[in-house]
Structure 1
Amino acid sequence: MLAEVVFDLPLGQAFTYAVPAHLAVAPGQRVLAPLGGAVRAGLVIALAEDGATRVKPLAGTLEPRSILSGGQLDLARWIAAESCSPLGSTCAALLPPALPTEPMAAAPDRPAGPAELPELLVGADRVARVRQEVDRHPGGVLVLTADVGAAAEWAAFLAPAGLAVRLDSGVGDRERWRAWNSLAGGGRRLAVGTRSALLAPVPHPAMLVLIDEHDAAHKPPGAPRLHSRDVVLRRATLEGGRLLLPSATPSVEMWWRADHGRARLAPADPARWPAGSVADTRGLLRREPLTPGLARATQDALAQGRRACLLVSRLTSTLACDDCGAVPRCPECGLALAFSRVDKALSCRQCARRHPAPDTCSACGGRRLSPFGWGADRVEHALHRRFPRARIARYDPDATRGARLETQRRLAAGADIVVGTRGALRLFPPASLGLAGFVTPDQLFRIADFRASERAFALMWAAVERVRPDGQVVIQSQHPDHYAIRAVLSQDRDEFYKHELRFRAELGYPPFRRLCRVSVRARQEPSARALADACGRRLREAGLTVYPATPDRRGLAWRLVVKGPADLPVRVAQAVAEPPTLPRARGIIEVEMDPVD
Structure 2
Amino acid sequence: MKLNETADPAAATQPVYIEVIFNSPAPGRYTYKLAEGMNLSVGMRVSAPFGRRKMTGYTVSVGVDPGETDFEIKAIERIIDKQPIYGTAEIALARWLADMYYCTEGEALATMLPGGKRESRMPAFEEFELPPVQEITLSDEQRRAIDGIMADDGGVHYLYGITGSGKTEVFLRTAAAVIESGGGVIYLVPEISLTHQLTDEVRMRFGKGVAVLHSALTPSQKLVEWQRIRSGEARFVIGARSAVFAPVPDLGLIIIDEEHESAYKSGSKPRYHARQVAMHRAGETGARMIMGSATPSLEAWYLVKSGRIKGETLGKRLSGGAVPDIELIDMKKYKGCISKPLETAIRETAAEGRQTILFLNRRGFSYFFHCRSCGYESRCRNCSVSLTYHKHRNKLICHYCGYSEEPKQVCPECGSLDVGYSGFGTELIESELNNLFPDLRIERVDTDSVKQKGSLRDRLDRFKAGEIDLLLGTQMVAKGLNFPGVKLVGIVLADTSLHLPDFRAHERTFNLIVQVAGRAGRFFPDGRVMIQTYKPDNEAVKMAAGGTIDAFYEREIEIRRALEFPPFGRLFRLVFRGKNAERTASAAENFAARFDTEILPKESGTEVLGPAECPLSMISGNYRFQIIIRTDNFRLVHSLFRGALSQFTPPSGVYLEADVDPVNLL
The TM-score range, normalised by the shorter chain, is: 0.7 to 0.9
Identify if the C-alpha distance between structure 1 residues 313 and 65 changes in structure 2 by more than 3 Å, giving closer, same or farther. Answer: closer
Q: How many residues align?
A: 584
Identify if the C-alpha distance between structure 1 residues 273 and 548 changes in structure 2 by more than 3 Å, giving closer, same or farther. Answer: same
Identify if the C-alpha distance between structure 1 residues 518 and 400 changes in structure 2 by more than 3 Å, giving closer, same or farther. Answer: farther
C-alpha displacement of 1:326: 1.4
Aligned pairs for 1:160-171 within 5 A:
160=204, 161-171=207-217
C-alpha displacement of 1:347: 0.9
1:327 aligned onto 2:377? yes
Give 1:71's aligned residue: 89
What is the rounded CA distance, in whole Å, between the counterparts of 2:113 and 2:228 in structure 1?
14
Aligned pairs for 1:513-532 within 5 A:
513-522=569-578, 524-525=580-581, 527-532=583-588
Give 1:310's aligned residue: 358
1:419 aligned onto 2:458? no
Helix, strand or coil for the counterpart of 1:370? strand
Give 1:483's aligned residue: 539
1:289 aligned onto 2:338? yes
Structure 1 contact 313–375 (Cα < 8 Å) conserved: no
Give 1:132's aligned residue: 173
1:496 aligned onto 2:511? no
Structure 1 contact 395–405 (Cα < 8 Å) conserved: no
Structure 1 contact 18–55 (Cα < 8 Å) conserved: no
Helix, strand or coil for the counterpart of 2:313? coil
Structure 1 contact 504–510 (Cα < 8 Å) conserved: yes
RMSD across aligned positions (CA): 3.2
1:465 aligned onto 2:518? yes
Helix, strand or coil for the counterpart of 2:400? coil
Q: Deviations over 1:28-61 (max 9, x none)?
A: 4433332112332212345643323245244153
C-alpha displacement of 1:80: 1.7
**Equivalent position amino acid for 1:531 in 2:** A
Q: Deviations over 1:486-515 (max 9, x none)?
A: 443343431221122222222222222222
Identify if the C-alpha distance between structure 1 residues 270 and 483 changes in structure 2 by more than 3 Å, giving closer, same or farther. Answer: farther
Structure 2 contact 159–167 (Cα < 8 Å) conserved: no
Q: Which of 273-282 and 66-75 deviates more?
A: 273-282
Structure 2 contact 20–59 (Cα < 8 Å) conserved: yes
Give 1:7's aligned residue: 22
Give 1:548's aligned residue: 610
**Equivalent position amino acid for 2:599 in 1:** A
C-alpha displacement of 1:126: 0.8
What is the rounded CA distance, in whole Å, between the counterparts of 1:450 and 1:375 in structure 2?
24
* Structure 2 runs not aligned, ≥5 long: 1-15, 122-151, 601-605
Give 2:128's aligned residue: none
Structure 1 contact 83–569 (Cα < 8 Å) conserved: no
Aligned pairs for 1:143-158 within 5 A:
143-150=187-194, 153-158=197-202
What is the rounded CA distance, in whole Å, between the counterparts of 1:194 and 1:257 in structure 2?
24
Structure 1 contact 384–392 (Cα < 8 Å) conserved: no
Within the candidate set 568, 577, 581, 1:512 is matched to 568
C-alpha displacement of 1:152: 5.1
1:219 aligned onto 2:252? no
C-alpha displacement of 1:158: 0.5
**Equivalent position amino acid for 2:244 in 1:** L
Q: Deviations over 1:142-179 (max 9, x none)?
A: 12222241465543221224431123322233332222
C-alpha displacement of 1:586: 5.7
1:561 aligned onto 2:628? yes
Helix, strand or coil for the counterpart of 1:267? strand
1:595 aligned onto 2:666? no
Identify if the C-alpha distance between structure 1 residues 279 and 589 changes in structure 2 by more than 3 Å, giving closer, same or farther. Answer: closer
What is the rounded CA distance, in whole Å, between the counterparts of 2:500 and 2:272 in structure 1?
23
What is the rounded CA distance, in whole Å, between the counterparts of 1:330 and 1:119 in structure 2?
35
TM-score between the two structures when normalised by the length of structure 2: 0.79
What is the rounded CA distance, in whole Å, between the counterparts of 1:344 and 1:101 in structure 2?
55
Aligned pairs for 1:50-449 within 5 A:
50-53=66-69, 54=71, 56-59=73-76, 60-63=78-81, 66-99=84-117, 115-123=154-162, 124-137=165-178, 138=181, 139-150=183-194, 153-160=197-204, 161-271=207-317, 272-279=321-328, 281=330, 283-287=332-336, 289-292=338-341, 294-314=342-362, 315-384=365-434, 386-387=436-437, 389=439, 391=440, 393-402=442-451, 406=455, 410=459, 413=463, 414-425=467-478, 429=482, 432-449=485-502
C-alpha displacement of 1:557: 4.3
Q: Which of 28-37 and 205-214 deviates more?
A: 28-37
Give 2:141's aligned residue: none
Structure 2 contact 185–236 (Cα < 8 Å) conserved: yes
C-alpha displacement of 1:358: 0.8
Structure 1 contact 345–356 (Cα < 8 Å) conserved: yes
Give 2:48's aligned residue: 33
C-alpha displacement of 1:309: 2.0
**Equivalent position amino acid for 2:105 in 1:** L
C-alpha displacement of 1:18: 4.7
Within the candidate set 533, 539, 563, 2:595 is matched to 539
Helix, strand or coil for the counterpart of 1:467? coil
TM-score between the two structures when normalised by the length of structure 1: 0.88
What is the rounded CA distance, in whole Å, between the counterparts of 1:427 and 1:264 in structure 2?
24
**Equivalent position amino acid for 2:551 in 1:** E
Q: Which of 336-345 and 153-162 deviates more?
A: 153-162
Percent same amino acid among aligned pairs? 24
